[in-house]
Chain A
Amino acid sequence: MDSRLIDSGLQELNKMLMELGLYSYASFKKAVDALRNWKYIGEDLISRSYQLMMKREEINSLAIELIARYQPLASDLRYLKSAMEIAYNFLRIGRYSADIAMSLIDFRDAEGKCEVDKLEPLIEVVYEMLQLAMELIENPDSTKAENIYKLDSQADEEYRRVLEIIIKLDNIKCGLMLALVARYLERIGDHAYYIADSVYYYLNGYRIAKF
């Protein structure tokens, strides 16, 4: 297609979305690392989540500007709607990552006493979901996006399994901390699902599953 005026705006938006995604993904990696090694980086991740808020606001502003200027339709319109949805979901992933890291600070006196490794299977699935979401942002693909559905079921299953373990723990502080972190992880997985769903909507005009 001949280059249209809107195209450079859409390219810019895509670049910003990739940056936001990478930043959010890095927050998640830092949170997991903090969890595995009981590091106190909560404050750092909170300030990163403010960065994400600003980046998300820039994405929304550009998307709204492109809508106002070009009144786009069809896949252009769907792309802009998806971009705004995806930006919000990356923001939430960054925020839950900060919440994970903050839990370690809140339960400081439980350091070294909690079996954090019980969360590993859940972490693994959520990692996979986020990686898939990142991949889809770079290369939108309907068939790949559909895989998120299976991964989401796995994450739900792992989450329930973790809760069953937690409920039997004697150390209340550890139980509480692990339950909170498990919940945050499960939510991060949900937001990765929403990102895949937004990519799928952009490509097809309808959603992976009905909510």
Chain B
Amino acid sequence: MGDIKLRVRNLDAWYGDNHVLKNINLDILSRAITAIIGPSGCGKTTLLRVINRLHETVPNARVRGEVILDGKNIYDPDVNPVEIRRKIGMIFQQPTVFPHLSIHDNVAIGLKLNGINDRELLDKIVRKSLREAGLWSEVEDRLWDRATDLSGGQKQRLAIARAIALEPEVLLMDEPTSALDPGATSRIEALMTNLKKDYTIIVVTHNIQFAARTADYIAFLFNGMLIEYGVAQEILERPKEKLTERYLLGEVDLERWL
């Protein structure tokens, strides 16, 4: 196993009275893809949102416990959440595309909001990010066109380019391929595998096959609890927990295995 990039310690999260994450302890390894799987409502998206301090933006949402990035608890009072969200980028299921902005500026916007206005530097980073996101050859001759004409898969890669333009250390992805066709899906999957050379990736999905194709490590969440966590191949072939087994076999009514 490689270095640990992120440690989640004794983590609990609530929406009002609803206790959605229960004492989660998890070590996320550097430069690898960790998939968080589990049925709808198990808390996997909340876990992702807690990791980059998006959870607290919801009224009545609460967090207890620690998320330690490179030795520093991101919930310490002296930590600026905006800075954390720059270090820990997020990609959503539906890629955000700013309709009034060009392809170029859709990538540059994060940099501009972070105070970078040097045209030359912006151009350089935009090109590099589009290349890394595997989109460059498709858009190089129309960088100043509006981004709304891009296909779904291209929009998702554009969102990835925007995220990596900020040079984050961790990339969080929430169902990044579930709205894409098989061709676009396989491009994103290949891209993720490329990106893990430079980034630590945590991806949330209820698509087990997607996790099976991409993940190095898999965490299985159920009812807000971390049931099992380990090397992907082992979890998929010989899970230790009965509950994980039943989930992987496609059983619907899982409560009785708790």
Contact = CB atoms under 8 A, between A and B. Distances in A.
B248 A74 contact: yes
Contacts of A1: 246, 249, 251
A78 B238 contact: yes
Contacts of B209: 71
B77 interface: no
B236 A74 contact: yes
B249 A205 contact: no
B237 interface: yes
Interface in A79-127: none
B17 interface: no
A4 interface: yes
B208 interface: yes
Interface residues of B, number: 16
B61 interface: no
A164 interface: no
Contacts of B248: 73-74
B238 to A, nearest CB: 3
A1 B252 CA distance: 8
Given A78-B238, A205-B238, A73 B249 contact: yes
A164 B238 CA distance: 44
B212 interface: yes
Contacts of B149: none
A74 B253 contact: no
The binding surface of chain B is classed by DSSP as helix
B152 interface: no
Interface in A47-99: 71-78
A78 B143 CA distance: 49
Place the interface of chain A in its size category. Answer: 10 to 19
A204 B239 CA distance: 10
B251 A75 contact: no
A78 B253 contact: no
Interface in B197-230: 208-209, 212
Nearest to A204: B238
A74 B252 contact: no
A73 B236 contact: yes
A2 B252 contact: yes
A71 B236 CA distance: 11
A2 B251 contact: yes
A205 B237 CA distance: 7
Given A205-B237, A205-B238, A206-B238, A74 B251 contact: no
B237 A78 contact: yes
B253 A77 contact: no
A63 to B, nearest CB: 16
Given A77-B237, A78-B238, A205-B237, A4 B245 contact: no
Interface string B175-211: 0000000000000000000000000000000001100
Contacts of B249: 1, 4, 72-76
B250 interface: yes
Contacts of A71: 209, 212
A72 B237 CA distance: 9
Contact of B245 (A2, A75, A206): A75
A74 B250 CA distance: 10
Nearest to B247: A74
Contacts of B253: 2
Contacts of B238: 74, 78, 204-206
Nearest to A6: B250
Contacts of A204: 238
Nearest to A72: B249
Interface string A1-21: 110101000000000000000
Nearest to A81: B237
Contacts of B212: 71, 73
A71 B250 CA distance: 11
A73 B208 contact: yes
9 contacts: A1-B249, A4-B250, A6-B250, A73-B208, A73-B249, A74-B236, A74-B245, A75-B249, A78-B238
Interface of B: 208-209, 212, 236-239, 244-246, 248-253
Interface of A: 1-2, 4, 6, 71-78, 204-206
A-B complex: 10 closest residue pairs judged by Cβ atoms = A205-B238, A74-B248, A73-B248, A74-B245, A73-B236, A71-B209, A1-B251, A4-B250, A74-B239, A74-B249
